[in-house]
Structure formats: C-alpha cells, structure tokens
Structure 1
C-alpha cells in the first residue's frame, strides 16, 4: 500500500511585509541588504488579526482537495503540524475538520517545530500502510508573527505566516507515493531554538528564542545525513533525485544542500525569498507552488527535508 499525493494546496495572508517596511515599522537596526545577504529573505506574509492557524489551514486544505478532485467527506483523518495552534485544546486539526464539514474519522495535532510537516507525513503514511485510513489531509499551518520578539532583529526578520496542505490517498501496488520517511530528534540541543513558556505548564512570555549560529552549524550535516539515509533505504543515489523541496529557513542552507546532492539550482524549490521561514508550513507551501506551476511532474523523484527546534530533523522520499 502506498500513500500517494493526490493534491497540494497553500495559503498566504494578504499582508506582505518587505524587509525595508519591517525595519521601519519596528525601528530595527537592519536593512534589506543585511537581511538578504544573510538569509535570502526579501519579504514575508503576516496574518490579519482575525486569521488563525485553523482558518489558514482550512484554506490550504480546500485548495488541495479541489486540485485532487476529492470531496471533504472522503477524508478519514486530518493531521496538523503546528507550533502555533488556535488553543491548547481542542486540536487545531478538529477545528479544521469542523470548518471543512467533516464529521467522520479523526484528527490530531503534531508538534515538531519546523520538521513538523515531515513528521506528520510519516504518521499519515504509517496509518495508511496499516489500513487505518485511506484518505488523509496533512497540513502545516503557522502564525509565527504572534510569538516573535519584534525588538530582536536576529529572529523577527526570519519568519512569516502561512499554511500548506497535501491530500494523500491509498493506492495498492502503485509505483508512485511515499517511498519512506526518516525521523530524528536529539533533546540535548533543545535550548538552541525554542519558545520560552507559552500556554503550557512552564508559563513565561511565549516568545521565540534562537541561537542562530548553533542551529546553522547543525543544519547542513544533519540534513545531508538524513537525505542520504532515505536514498540508501531505497537503493538510490543522488543521481536518482529529480527535485529537492527543502524547509525554507535560509537560502545558504538550501544552496549548500543542493550542491551536496549534485542538483542544479533549477531543481531546488526555493520560496524563502518570498515567504520567509513559515516553519511547518514551509515545505507544503513550496510543494504546492512547484506543483501548481507544473514544475514537479508525475513520476518525479522528490526528497523533502527539514530541521527544527528540538532539535528535530527528518526527510521523506517520494515519487510524485
């Protein structure tokens, strides 16, 4: 049994904030040149006051379902990767169920920071391989603008808001679909990228803190390792890859990964310049854009990879 991507969707808030506008609005000692040189980011989208993780996730899911030609009533499960849920509970996934009019099946949230979508894809694939679901919505949705310290130029310039979704359907003996997922975490490095306190048991401000150089140091080696792990598990090498759809955190990390895999720039999907880092939403947003433009075609071998707070990291290898 294979989990095949039947449709991809994305949603970005209407408000688009350029680097220059961000610096002016928040009185930051930074500039467009400084941000672009270090990150590749030129702008980001910011959620409106009335928007929520569930409303954005619902919009992305609707587009994915429409592109797949599948009715919401056919969905057996909704899995949402988010670090910015609507509330501690109920889960954002069940709110999306309600907004889509789904009254059957089940839904739950998953927290693995920027690696969340890859984790959620792995959970969905496991459910489908064991026959517990035949149609699953996997959604990454984030409103990081509400957990940023807007006086900290080292973090607030990096993130944006958005949502992405895929519809997975179960197909027997298909040559397409998810080939394997590979998930890792190492809690020893949990303090280099975290949200202090928040709605949980520790209290606190609930703002994001990051040791950027430490995160960067771990990123390329761990990502390269997990991609090679995925390829080896399927008897493949770098030459078998058609596309890299990476987590969109930093252009330098993305370019370094492309070079390690021997992929030309045009085979690496890049949206970080326009979306910034949308955490768990970044990969499905990038996938939806590439698929919507007809860049990724049926039968292409694609690798997804991400690293995030925890530290967590992972990869998924699939045939589109």
Structure 2
C-alpha cells in the first residue's frame, strides 16, 4: 500500500522574542496573569518586511536539508496559512520561487489553526492518488499583523513562526505498523463563525484584526479535539493506548491538559511548545513536530497523533507513524 512518509522536518522563528513582561507597558496585564491563563511565557514576532512566505521558505529549507533532498526534486508545496503575504497569488507559489523550484505546483490551504492538519490530509491524498511523490507541507503565520493591541484577551496569545515537513511516497504493508500517515479526520461547522474570526477582508477594504470569544472556543475545543482524535485512531485501526506522542495545536495549556486527560494520555507523552512560541496558528503543529524531533522526543517508529481546532470552526486530526 502506498503511504506518505515524513522524511524531513524543520522550523523557523523570527529573531525578535517578546516576553510577557513587554505587554505590561501597554496593557492592564502581567506575566503571571498570562502564564496562569495560557501557559505562554514568550513568543516571536516577525520583523518589519519579514513576510509569511519568508518564514515558510526558511522552514522548508531546513526540512529539505534534513531529508537530503533538493527543491528540484519536490513535486508539490502545500502551505497552510491565514496570513498570506497578499490576497493573491498564494504564499506557496512565493515559496516555490524562493526555493528555485520551477516544476510541479503549489497552493495555499486556509483553515486557520486547523490549517496544517487540512494541508496534511490534502497532501496525503495527492500522494495516495499517485499524482506526486514528494510534497512539502508547511504551516506559516505572521499573526502579529492582525492583532488588536488594545485587547489583552487576544493579543498576548499569538506569535509568528513556521514549520515544514517533507512527505515522500513509500510502500507499506497496509497495516497500522506502516510508517507514514495512517489516517486523517476533518470537520467544520460554519454556524460558529463568530467565535473566532478577523473583522476584515475584501468586503471591508481593510485587513482587520482578530476577534475571539475565548470561553466559547474553549468549550468546543476539548470535546471536538478528543472526538476527532478518537475517530482518526479508529480509522487507522488503533486506540489511545497505542499513542507514543500527542502533538496538539498549541493554543492554550488549559486546552492541552484536559485533552490529554480525555485521551487517557500522560502529559509526559504530549509535546508542548506553547510556553516558548505562543499560539502560531497553522504553524504550531509543524513547529512542535520539529522541536519534538530536535529535543529527541519523537523517534522513528513512534505513533504520533496531531489535533487542531480553529476559526470556522474547523478542526481535525492526523495519525502517523514517524
């Protein structure tokens, strides 16, 4: 059976580090308040002129380097982002150009914080169909550009960054022991649009800023994430006790901890990076995957479950063996 196997992973973070204390100068907040309500200690912000596609390109280069693959050998780029450089063309084509890749095709996926899971599902389908053998899947965001800096409930939560994986077609036995993506599970429900959105776009003539009903998003998050993880595991013929690592969207430690509890997984088996990066939306899962490998946590043969939920609402899960 044809499988999409991760051959390389990489991430990139802007140089500027913003600790919680920096917000104390402009907002009625504190380092202790932010930590206690989110688990976040610091985040990275892109420099002036540093775009989402630039962050994505650097992460992609590092994933290619780990895999020992040249950009000319890549067939497709799928880039998950809600903060593309321009309305069009896609940020993915900008990455394609920056890498010097003149073959194949590139496109963006927009599912907000669930974007990377959606991108992985699309890339997996392309590989399984035989349309491509190597695909760069990237999550990249510059959410610092869509913040309301007077809203302490949102602007302290988000950061900028990028992560990338290189998927490559390989032959498996068609069993849960195969390496590669074993299953995906995607959902959305537009009835909940107003819980998390940006109040700008083509229809308004401005880029807008992020608006969120945090308590309502939290209410949906744990139940929906645990359910989609269970469904994806069942599709792969696996169960929560088979999990080696949960690599969740890094939205809030108060979501990650009860999610682990509902899955019956110890926090020792959860890759957590939110304290260093904040919520980087579609970039958070590939960032965490790359950091998990760098730390020596995720190893070949490990079963990894990734889950995410974002505006839409859109949510989903991916089960893969490293």
- Calculate the TM-score normalised by the size of structure 2: 0.97
Alignment of 1:286 with 2:288, yes or no, is: yes
State how far apart, in whole Å, the 1-side matches of 2:238 and 2:79 are: 30
State how far apart, in whole Å, the 2-side matches of 1:72 and 1:266 are: 36
Superposition map of 1:127-138 within 5 A: 127-138=126-137
Number of the residue aligned with 1:10: 11
Superposition map of 1:249-288 within 5 A: 249-288=251-290
Number of the residue aligned with 2:93: 94
- CA drift of 1:262 comes to 1.9
Match of 1:208 among 199, 207, 210: 210
State how far apart, in whole Å, the 2-side matches of 1:205 and 1:94 are: 21
- CA drift of 1:238 comes to 1.1
SS for the counterpart of 2:182 is: strand
Unaligned runs of 5+ in 1: none
CA contact (8 A) 2:54 2:95 kept: yes
Superposition map of 1:155-166 within 5 A: 155-166=154-165
Q: Report the RMSD for the aligned CA atoms in angstroms.
A: 0.9
State how far apart, in whole Å, the 2-side matches of 1:161 and 1:231 are: 30
CA contact (8 A) 2:23 2:30 kept: no
Number of the residue aligned with 1:65: 64
Superposition map of 1:1-320 within 5 A: 1-24=2-25, 27-173=26-172, 175-198=178-201, 200-204=202-206, 206-320=208-322
CA contact (8 A) 2:72 2:100 kept: yes
CA contact (8 A) 2:138 2:163 kept: yes
State how far apart, in whole Å, the 1-side matches of 2:52 and 2:214 are: 25
State how far apart, in whole Å, the 2-side matches of 1:94 and 1:71 are: 17
1:238-285 CA distance string (max 9 Å, x none):
111110000000001111111122222221000001100000000000
CA contact (8 A) 2:79 2:137 kept: yes
Unaligned runs of 5+ in 2: none
SS for the counterpart of 2:247 is: strand
- CA drift of 1:204 comes to 4.3
1:52-89 CA distance string (max 9 Å, x none):
00110000000000011111111000010000001011
State how far apart, in whole Å, the 1-side matches of 2:80 and 2:71 are: 19
State how far apart, in whole Å, the 2-side matches of 1:294 and 1:72 are: 26
- Calculate the TM-score normalised by the size of structure 1: 0.98
Runs of 4+ in 1 over 3 A off after TM superposition: none
CA contact (8 A) 2:183 2:233 kept: no
State how far apart, in whole Å, the 1-side matches of 2:295 and 2:267 are: 17
